[in-house]
Structure 1
Amino acid sequence: MGTGGAYASRVATGRVTPTRALDVLNVLLSDVRYGLGAYLGVYLLTEHQWDAGEIGLALSIGGLAGLLAQAPIGLLVDAIRAKRALIAGAVLVVMACCLVIPLAPSFWPVTLAGVVGGLAGTSIAPTLAAISLGIVGPERFARRACRNEALFHAGNGAINLLILATAPFFGTPVLFWVMAGTGLASAAAALAIPPRSIDHAVARGLLPGAANVAPRQGWHLLTGSRPLLTFALCGALFHMANGSMLALVAQKLALQNIGWGVALTAICAIAAQVVMVPAATLAGARAESWGRRPLLLAAFLALALRGLLYTAFDHPAWLIGVQLLDGVGAGLIGALFPVVIADLTRGSGHFAAAQGVVGTVHGLGGVVSGALSGLIVVWAGYDAAFLALAATAGLGAALFWLTMPETRPLPLEKEFAHDHSAA
């Protein structure tokens, strides 16, 4: 029986609700998946007097560790069936790494925590996508992946509202209290997904009912597919432009508004999440009718415009308002990343491995972004860094439109997949 049929029969009896369990997990992961994010830079800048260059270097080392691990972790996710336990363990490690930072807020302990947390956090996104694919099947995956992203951003917005409401009274420790609570809850939610609801063959990218496939070296996936390589390189430019933009805005606001760094960072994050939820929802509703390509181009253009507008005025209201454009760019590309990978690897059995390989190239852009933008700030100021990031996004938009094909499956491919699902 194919995934869709098996899932429908279980749901009809009322015994399990795997998609509801996925919904809860996506909301709770919003505070754990990327650790402390921009808050860490503000915390180190305002509480321990680090400069932008030190912050960028420390975060980049941790990011590089996670980057190098993505391809082998993807191969691991394809190979193992204990995907629920993998997510639960990963979020607990990320949580622990964040909680030790206040105990030793100097360069090397923070960097080591970032390395360990980066290695664990790298496994969360591909494992979640694989579980989702294994539950709903390839035909419904685009809508499910975009729903995952929308719920993730909704949860992120709620967490940031909580931080905004409590930080003025409790200060920066609230960041670590919230991390502890969401980390434990995320682990419990991952283990609450009914194990029998996951078709593990479909979860690795095979068509329902297809035979297993032999292992394949991760980087051969990239070099053997021109569309996958194009998506990887264009995405690297997107993340090179986007990776440090929120952190730079948060730092600029913190320096201009002493004592309000955490609260203003929360407001910036909330502003983006307000738009990310409808952006991801739009992607889920229109990815099949409009295709993936125009939605992804809109993400690049929104990012380039955002970088330019940051240089126009320094008023906090303006900077926070411009942050709304982050919701368009990050919301669309975050929702469609696993969808495009699933399109390009359908039937291969290497879905998570391809996510890892492409994610490595994308992550390289993010690592370069953190280190390079920090140095530009030290040498030439924040406006120069924003202009450099905007130019990078513009270059990515041009290359994407000129070289990236549409990946939406053709009707014949959909019919083929449906026939195999029903077999």
Structure 2
Amino acid sequence: MATADDGVTERARAAGFHPRSLDAVNFLLADVRGALGPYLNVFLITQRHWSQTEVGWVTTIAGLIGLAAQTPAGAAIDATSRKRGAVVLALIVLAIGAAVIFAAPTFWPVLVANTGMAVVGDVFGPAVSAVTLGLYARRQLARRIGRNSAFDHAGNVAIAAAAGLVGYLFTQRAVFLMVPAFAVLAAIAMLSIPHRAIDRDRARGLDEEQATQGRQVPSGLRSLLRSRPLIVFALCAMLFHFANAPLLPLVGQKLAQSHPAWASAMLSSCIIAAQLIMLPVALVVGRTADSVGRKPILLIGFAVLPVRAALYTFSDSAPWLIAVQLLDGVGAGIFGAITPLVIADLMRGTGRYNLAQGAVATVQGIGASLSGLAAGVIIDHLGYTTAFLTFGAAACVALAALVTGMPETAGREDGRRA
């Protein structure tokens, strides 16, 4: 299929697609997701006086239930031509969940709402990646995914600043009302991408030749289980997220306990500090991933995490904690920008790109969910320093697994030979 100079397919251009629509989708989806997450943990502990263990249970239960739906959701995104509709539906659920938390911030309503949001929250990544595959040529995929990630980080900066201002001027609880407002804007942006512009076969990882010839692709999970590099990458991702997921909430809690009146503003400062680094990191990854390779870039991202975890133990001062949080911009920024590329490399030609996205998200989500409960129990019994060191050790294991078990994926011609 012919493509324009900027990598957009002729089909997409003829249908009226403009790249700015996809930019807006990434920016606004970050706004929707960014008003939740660590703000919920800090709100429940500092304003509702929940224990760390209670918060850990809510995080873990919601996360594990949500994980059960991720791989089937990826398969459904592969199969459906209504990828825009899947994103809009997920936005509706997120908006309702945030409204429930605002109205009734007690254990069971929060657990149910958080579970619903966990089930739909990971629809966004695979769906947006699929839409991108369906709109752009493979030769421009690295740059476009890097640009997606950059706009995602820009959205995170914007929502963190807005949430900090709302939390300071009103209450931390008011932050959750931002979710429905941004959900409406995000839905409008997604629907501005013409349905007919998205090539369904390209969006699931099939090459044009395969789609034309009607070649059969592996069914179910077979194409995933036969790919050893994908399994290794998923395990590395699980360890990375087990170590990384609790760090920002824990730092936010420490800052909130020291400066309760500035809780939202302090947490926003941490988020903004990291996101401002992630934005250029994502652009650099997009520009260099083809020439340098995927693995060297991944190694840098994984190596930063244990250093960051250890540095948190050096001081409890707000300037120090926020400064260390800058390293999250390198580690998480690299991981977020390059993961869709690695999966696209490994699943090329299988038609199971979104299934693989969902499977990897499931495995890394298991790590993140278990870390929430682990963090709560460790802090309640042993304190913050032990928690940071524990997660730093887990990050070292993740780095070792990546070094020894993960091959370079750039240049693979067919994911079925992975």
TM-score normalised by length of structure 1: 0.93
- Residues 282-297 of structure 1 aligned to structure 2 (within 5 Å): 282-297=284-299
1:214 Cα offset (Å): 4.8
Q: Residue 274 of structure 1 corresponds to which residue in structure 2?
A: 276
Q: Residue 379 of structure 2 corresponds to which residue in structure 1?
A: 377
Q: Residue 309 of structure 2 corresponds to which residue in structure 1?
A: 307
Conserved 8 A contact 2:133-2:202: yes
Conserved 8 A contact 2:2-2:9: no
Instruction: In structure 2, give the amino acid aligned to 1:113.
Output: A
Establish whether residue 340 from structure 1 lines up as the match of residue 342 from structure 2. Answer: yes
Conserved 8 A contact 2:30-2:155: yes
Whole-angstrom CA distance in 1 between matches of 2:153 and 2:302? 19
Conserved 8 A contact 1:30-1:155: yes
1:326 Cα offset (Å): 0.7
Instruction: In structure 1, give the amino acid aligned to 2:139.
Output: E
Whole-angstrom CA distance in 2 between matches of 1:34 and 1:160? 7
**Greater displacement, 163-172 / 396-405:** 163-172
Whole-angstrom CA distance in 1 between matches of 2:353 and 2:215? 12
- Report the CA distance shift for 1:245/1:213 in structure 2 as closer, same or farther (over 3 A): farther
Q: Residue 418 of structure 1 corresponds to which residue in structure 2?
A: none
Whole-angstrom CA distance in 2 between matches of 1:215 and 1:58? 39
Which string of whole-angstrom CA distances, capped at 9 and with x for unpartnered residues, describes residues 154-211 of structure 1? 1110111122233221122441232122111011111111112111100000002323
RMSD of equivalent CA atoms? 1.9
Q: Residue 109 of structure 2 corresponds to which residue in structure 1?
A: 109
Q: Residue 401 of structure 1 corresponds to which residue in structure 2?
A: 403
Whole-angstrom CA distance in 2 between matches of 1:43 and 1:302? 29
Instruction: In structure 1, give the amino acid aligned to 2:221.
Output: W
Conserved 8 A contact 1:153-1:277: yes
Conserved 8 A contact 2:309-2:392: yes
Runs of 4+ aligned structure 1 residues displaced above 3 Å come to: 1-13, 212-219
Q: Residue 195 of structure 1 corresponds to which residue in structure 2?
A: 195
Alignment: residue pair count: 411
Establish whether residue 121 from structure 1 lines up as the match of residue 116 from structure 2. Answer: no
Whole-angstrom CA distance in 2 between matches of 1:215 and 1:369? 36
Which string of whole-angstrom CA distances, capped at 9 and with x for unpartnered residues, describes residues 237-256 of structure 1? 10010011101110111111
1:64 Cα offset (Å): 1.1
Whole-angstrom CA distance in 1 between matches of 2:258 and 2:9? 55
- Residues 349-360 of structure 1 aligned to structure 2 (within 5 Å): 349-360=351-362
Conserved 8 A contact 1:156-1:273: yes
The gaps in structure 2 that reach 5 residues or longer are: none
Alignment partner of 2:258 out of 248, 256, 259:
256
Q: Residue 58 of structure 1 corresponds to which residue in structure 2?
A: 58
Which string of whole-angstrom CA distances, capped at 9 and with x for unpartnered residues, describes residues 355-414 of structure 1? 11121111111111111111111110011000001111111111101111000015xx49
Q: Residue 39 of structure 1 corresponds to which residue in structure 2?
A: 39
1:88 Cα offset (Å): 1.1
Q: Residue 207 of structure 1 corresponds to which residue in structure 2?
A: 207
The gaps in structure 1 that reach 5 residues or longer are: 415-423
Q: Residue 30 of structure 2 corresponds to which residue in structure 1?
A: 30
Q: Residue 324 of structure 2 corresponds to which residue in structure 1?
A: 322
Whole-angstrom CA distance in 2 between matches of 1:213 and 1:126? 23
- Residues 127-206 of structure 1 aligned to structure 2 (within 5 Å): 127-206=127-206
Conserved 8 A contact 1:204-1:349: yes
Whole-angstrom CA distance in 2 between matches of 1:369 and 1:361? 13
Whole-angstrom CA distance in 2 between matches of 1:241 and 1:12? 42
Conserved 8 A contact 1:298-1:329: yes
- Report the CA distance shift for 1:90/1:320 in structure 2 as closer, same or farther (over 3 A): same
Instruction: In structure 1, give the amino acid aligned to 2:85.
Output: A
SS in 2 for 1:105: coil
Whole-angstrom CA distance in 1 between matches of 2:379 and 2:87? 36
Whole-angstrom CA distance in 2 between matches of 1:374 and 1:345? 37
Instruction: In structure 2, give the amino acid aligned to 1:117.
Output: M
Indicate the percent of aligned positions where both proteins have the same amino acid.
42
1:213 Cα offset (Å): 5.4
Whole-angstrom CA distance in 2 between matches of 1:118 and 1:74? 14
